[in-house]
Amino acid sequence: MADQVPLELWRQSVTPYLQMAGLAALRTTSPVFSTSVITADLLLERIDASLTRNSLHGLIDVDRSYGVGVPGGCVLDDLVAFVCRLVMPWARDSSPSRFSYLLRFALMLEQGGSGWRNIAVFLRLAVIYQLMAPKAVPFVVSARWMAAHVRTKPAADDLYLMRVVYFSLIRHRMNSRREILPTAKREGVSGGDRLQHADYRLQRDDPYAVRYNRHDSAVGSRIDDTRFCIYPSFSAALVSRLIGRWLVDLSYSGEHTMVLSGCVGDSDDRYLSLMSDGLTGQDVFAVGYRFHDSGSVTYCRFVIVSGFRPDDTIVAYIKLYRGGLKLYTTEPCVGDASCPLDERLPTSMGLFRRVLGRFGLEKEVIDGGRVTV
């Protein structure tokens, strides 16, 4: 039946709306699809679109030369792989075909969803904080790694994707002497430093459960018997904890400076809007968590205005907590305290004013706040 539909109609009106699992299934229905419609070039288009959408260009990539010029690569490769899985179901192919490799990579990007945007921000912040060498990115995900960690069909024992990405792909590229996310409790490491999956704490109407993604689910860190933090996703926890840790740690070569602090109250509509807005555009990015203390809940948010774009060289953000706003930056001050902040920190202050002005908070926080630098 599928063969009776013109191929051009498939390309223009069907395949653009199919997820990766649907494309893989469609490819097996007919040799025509595997050679003319569902091809490696189509997968590369999907991969590039996902890399662009999540700002991952220059950070993570696929080996674009893998399998080029290798004969076969279509139905024959799929048939051989299928037979191998029947004969050796316990084994994973360490040398997949070009199509299988690209399919797994595209599937990984699709499964991670918006979590990849957090990964991109984390990597750019890590480079600016000098926790990762600029030459460490982009890193190319090998076919062997993809075959070992990403399955085309989910299994019950699969680990959470974003956790695997961090611990298997990113962590060993960090030059930090202090762990961002320790994997187990050990001497000198508090309970609050260990992340655990927090799905069991999330009710159906929980804001963090609305956009649930099993590949990047909510995680929590317990401080003691009555206090713990919940992050909306593992990837969000990476960004929040990176900022929070290096805010107080002086082991990196740069230096955080608190520029201003102000308070408008946690019931102020403007504050609540800034706390809840999506803020995922090109000029601002936000990530947060909530703090539980003996039954009370407090939300905290980092509104990042610099440090997440490819050309950013400084980190600047606004911390929102209990109705207060604190402005931080790594930009070096120009001039002394007698000069206006807009002259001393021209890049950061311009970005702060743009974001706070959008929410009507510029006057209270910047013009009426307490200068701390």
Name the residue ranges covered by the structural domains of the chain: 2-173, 255-373
Torsion of CA 340, 266, 282, 176, to 10 degrees: 80
Instruction: Work out whether the CA dihedral 54, 60, 65, 71 comes out positive or negative.
Output: negative
Q: pLDDT tens digits, residue range 279-307?
A: 766 788 999 998 989 888 899 999 999 99
- Starting at the edge strand found earlier in the chain, the sheet holding 196-197 runs 196-197, 219-222, 227-231, 285-293, 296-306, 316-321, 324-329, 257-263, 370-371
Q: Residue 196 pairs with which residues in a beta bridge?
A: 220
pTM of the model: 0.84
Phi, psi of 290 (to 5 degrees): -130, 145
Quick check: 369 and 283 in contact, CB under 8 A? Answer: no
Indicate the pairing of strand 316-321 with strand 139-141.
unpaired
- Residue 198 has a pLDDT of 52
pLDDT, tens digit, 9 for 90 and up, residues 50-71: 999 999 999 999 999 988 765 5
Residue 93 has pLDDT above 70, yes or no: no
- The H-or-E segment that residue 288 falls in is strand 285-293
Angstrom distance (rounded) from CA 291 to CA 285: 21
pLDDT digit string, tens, across residues 211-232: 778 888 888 888 888 888 889 8
Mean residue pLDDT of the chain comes to 79
CB 165: neighbour CB atoms within 10 A?
25
